[in-house]
Amino acid sequence: MIIGNEKKEEGNAERVGTGVPPFPGKKTNPSDSSAPQSGSDREFVLFRKVQGAMRYVPDFPETCKAILDAVMDEMEAENCSIMLQDPASGELSVLAARGKGEKNSVYYAGSSYKGRRFKPGEGIAGWVLKEGQALLVNDVYDEPRFVSMKEGLNPGIRSLICFPIREKDRVVGVFNLSHSRKGAFDEGKKMALSYITTQMGAALTSARFFLKIRDVNRLLNDAGETSTKAISPPASSSPSSTFVEVGEMMTQDQGIFLYASDKMHRIKEMIDQVANTDVTILIQGESGVGKEIVARSIHLNSVRRDKPFVKVNCAALPQELLESELFGYEKGAFTGAYRQKPGKFELADGGTIFLDEIGDINPSLQAKLLQVLQDREFSRLGGKKDIKVDVRVLVATNRNIEEAVMDGRFREDLYYRLNVVNITVPPLRERKEEIPLFVEYFLRRFSEKYQKKGKLISESMMRALMAHNWAGNIRELQNVIQRYLVLGNEEEIVSELVTFGKKDKISSQEGEEEGTFIARQVSLKRVQKNAARKAEAKIILKALEMTHYNRKKAAELLNISYKSLLYKIKECGLRKSLKTNNL
């Protein structure tokens, strides 16, 4: 059941990220109940089952067995196993496994497993552990880089996948799938295994955390410190609440939080840390990156998960109406106020309010919002009494809110109230390894919505999707897949993606400033802003030279505050040149 092959020379084993073949498998019509499940449907069921397995956390043995059972049920593998590295010897050994003829997975507690162990670099599993890269082998015996080892490899195995299990930034084990049929696995299976191993790493981290708590309590008891209160793990009213944000459908199909990149994994870890607190969180990122999905994930992982989640788009309403929308009004407060109306803060009492596009609110409303954050109380328009609310505030913006503070368009005290914890969601172009996951999800979703047979993504289209810059991020990708499924105009879509890719490349070569949001088309406003920034940089450098690089004197000479000068130095990209000159 276990992989045990020695490295010999280069062959046809596929590494993750060495090409993007099309998603295989013919998809069936969702309306045909007699038809078998398509590949995408089965993968989605697999994700849900793996998510359900996380309810066993921190019971790591039960979590492992449940995940292996889900894989055997939905991925058509004949054998699967989880191997972890012994921290003392550094060797890999099987922790849990299940074969085709077995009804249940087996977990090997302690040193009960008597099979072969592998050193880092030894065999396929050892190589994956050492290199931290996944391998897909379509035919073990035709693969010249690996040869069979009598003690380790089942002679019936022809194809296999071996994927690294990471705990934070370290490879701690491998996940193996094998089959007796040649070419049994494909790129889609490999991507699915990427998600599964991410969950395995999260479960392992949680299990270690709970073991530490148990050991600390045991030490306290052994020391006779009966007066000391034992440390308890955080309570959970929902069995799957800890990891609900990953691969779990939101209420009313509000979206799905999928990830496969290290950057999004760090965001997931941050969500786990802050979810059960009441701190205000500022979520930043370009339009379409999924800021609302992050906000909903925080809410669903918190103790407020059963209470309301109220979203307000501050840019969608005129500023004159936004105040009444947030705080409500009394009957007769203004012309047309024929009845009392509660505001969004009242509706969110006990739960979470999500203020999207917070950078668009005017200064007078900013002052009232500051009062709510400080005192958790406000008054309706036309009201005489204050209303107290218990609500958690999450805010999001795609603007440079720090620049707005410097320009006086956003209150500094409100900014510090909002920015207790900052989560910056990276754009899709910085996590392109997640594109196949989103493509598969959107294909399945829109196939069901429009009652259309699922279409395959060709290799040329997948290459175009992976190469595109995605200025509109996940929302743009969603629209492209929706259009492809409805109209089927693949050649036109590929042509547009390639054309826009060339435009983006030319734009970057013309001096796009790092850290700014990339626009798809040339804008006069952008040209004006870049020209002004270059002019400011020259003047600042001249002022620094005249004052012998004394920044306080340079700020006085430029008639701006010292803080504003520091910000301008950063904005104009002068830090690097000053650092190079040791200034």
Distance, in Å, from the CA atom of 431 to the CA atom of 419, rounded to the nearest integer, reads: 25
How far apart (Å, rounded) are the C-alpha atoms in residues 255 and 273? Answer: 22
Instruction: Give the residue with greater pLDDT, 55 vs 490.
Output: 490
- The stretch 546-565 carries a mean pLDDT of 82
The topology (CATH level 3) of 5-211 is Beta-Lactamase (3.30.450)
How much is the average pLDDT of 34-47? 61
Mean pLDDT is highest, among 231-235, 273-277, 393-397, for: 393-397
What are residue 82's DSSP bridge partners?
96, 175
CB 412 within 8 A of CB 405: yes
pLDDT band at 16 (very low <50, low <70, confident <90, very high): very low
Residue at token pair 């060709």: 458
Burial 192-228 (b: 16+ CB within 10 A, else e): bbbbbbbbbbbbbbbbeeeeeeeeeeeebeeeeeeee
Please state which of the ranges 160-164, 264-268, 527-531 shows the lowest mean pLDDT: 527-531
Query: Of 303, 175, 308, 199, which Cα lies nearest the Cα of 258?
Result: 199
Mean pLDDT for all residues in the chain: 75
pLDDT value for 157: 80
Q: Taking residues 500-511, report their average pLDDT.
A: 54
Contact 199, 57 (CB under 8 A): no
Q: Kindly report, residue by residue over 479-491, the tens digit of the pLDDT.
A: 999 888 888 888 8
Confidence of residue 144 (pLDDT cuts 50, 70, 90): low
Q: Give burial (CB, 10 Å; 0-12/13-18/19+) of 471.
A: buried
Asked whether 396 and 422 are in contact (CB, 8 A), the reply is: no
* Band of residue 256 on the pLDDT scale cut at 50, 70, 90: low
Beta bridge partners of 421: 281
Q: Calculate mean pLDDT across residues 225-247.
A: 35
Note the pLDDT of residue 45: 78
The pLDDT assigned to 353 comes to: 94
| Per-residue pLDDT, 14 | 38
What HEC string does 128-162 produce? Answer: HHHHCCCEEECCCCCCCCEEECCCCCCCCCCEEEE
Top pLDDT among 534 and 365 is at: 365
Per-residue pLDDT at 240: 32
Amino acid at 491: E
CATH of 524-580, one of 1.10.10, 1.20.1070, 1.10.3470, 1.20.58: 1.10.10
Q: What percent of the chain has pLDDT over 90?
A: 14
| In the predicted structure, residue 42 carries a pLDDT above the cut 90 | no
- Please tell me the CATH code under which domain 428-509 is placed: 1.10.8.60
Render 365-395 in DSSP notation, one character per residue: HHHHHHHHHHHSEE--BT-SS-EE---EEEE
Q: What is the C-alpha to C-alpha distance for residues 485 and 490, in angstroms, rounded to an integer? A: 9
CA distances from 339 to 4, 272, 333 (A): 75, 42, 9
Most confidently modeled range among 24-28, 368-372, 520-524: 368-372
Smallest Cα–Cα separation from 42: which of 66, 76, 79, 82? 76
Instruction: Report which of residues 196 and 248 the model is more confident about.
Output: 196
Contacts of 190-194 with C-beta under 8 Å, sequence gap 24+, read 190/14, 190/16, 190/134, 190/136, 190/161, 190/163, 191/260, 191/436, 191/437, 191/440, 192/43, 192/46, 192/47, 192/75, 193/134, 193/161, 193/163, 194/16, 194/134, 194/163, 194/260
User: Token pair 């040649």 is at which residue?
Assistant: 182
pLDDT score for 524: 62
pLDDT confidence of residue 39: 53
Q: What is the domain partition of the chain in residue ranges?
A: 5-211, 262-424, 428-509, 524-580
Specify the CATH number of the domain 262-424.
3.40.50.300
Q: How far is residue 304's CA from residue 79's CA, in Å, rounded to a whole number?
A: 41
Output the CA angle 97-103-106, nearest 5 degrees: 30
Q: Which tops the pLDDT comparison, 219 or 75?
A: 75
493, 438, 485, 443: which is closest to 468 by C-alpha?
Answer: 493
Q: What is the mean pLDDT of residues 527-543?
A: 80
Distance between CA atoms of 201 and 243, rounded to whole angstroms? 12
Quote the pLDDT of residue 257.
66
Structure tokens at 231: 């440390």
**CB atoms < 10 A from the CB of 429, how many?**
15
- Lowest-confidence range among 69-83, 134-148, 254-268, 372-386? 134-148
The confidence score (pLDDT) of residue 246 equals: 30
CA–centroid distance for 269 within its chain: 10
Query: Which of the pair, 148 or 119, is modelled with greater confidence?
Result: 119
Determine the pLDDT at residue 518: 43
Examine the pLDDT at 116 and tell me if it is beyond 50. yes
* pLDDT-based confidence at residue 155 (cuts at 50, 70, 90): low
User: What is the reported pLDDT for 391?
Assistant: 93
CA–CA distance, 127 with 366 (Å, rounded to integer): 56
Displacement of CA 489 from its chain's centroid (Å) = 30
pLDDT in tens, 310-355: 999 998 888 778 888 898 888 887 777 788 888 899 999 999 999 9
Provide the angle, in degrees to the nearest 10, between the axes of the packed helices 60-74 and 39-53: 170
Structure tokens at 393: 């505030």
Is residue 497 scored above 90 in pLDDT? no
Cβ-contact 416, 303 below 8 angstroms? no
Confidence of residue 159 (pLDDT cuts 50, 70, 90): confident
Percent of the chain with pLDDT over 70: 74
Conformational region of residue 160, where left means phi above 0, alpha means psi within -120 to 50, and beta covers everything else: beta
* CA 365 centroid distance within chain: 32
Model confidence at 396, pLDDT cuts 50, 70, 90, reads very high
Q: How many residues does the chain have?
A: 583
What pLDDT shows up at residue 49?
81
Q: What is the pLDDT of residue 378?
A: 87
Radius of gyration, alpha carbons of the chain? 28
Give pLDDT tens digits for 273-319: 898 888 999 999 999 999 999 999 999 888 998 999 999 999 888 87
Q: What pLDDT, on the 0 to 100 scale, is given for residue 352?
A: 94
Task: Bin 364: left if φ > 0, else alpha if -120 < ψ < 50, else beta.
Answer: alpha
Q: What share of the chain is helix, strand, coil (3-state, %, to 5)?
A: 45, 15, 40
Confidence of residue 516 (pLDDT cuts 50, 70, 90): very low
Pick from 45-49, 238-242, 271-275: least confident? 238-242
Q: Quick one: how many helices (H) and strands (E) in the chain?
A: 19, 18
Fold match flag (5-211 vs 524-580):
no
**C-alpha span between 160 and 177 (Å, rounded):** 5
Mean pLDDT of 464-493: 89
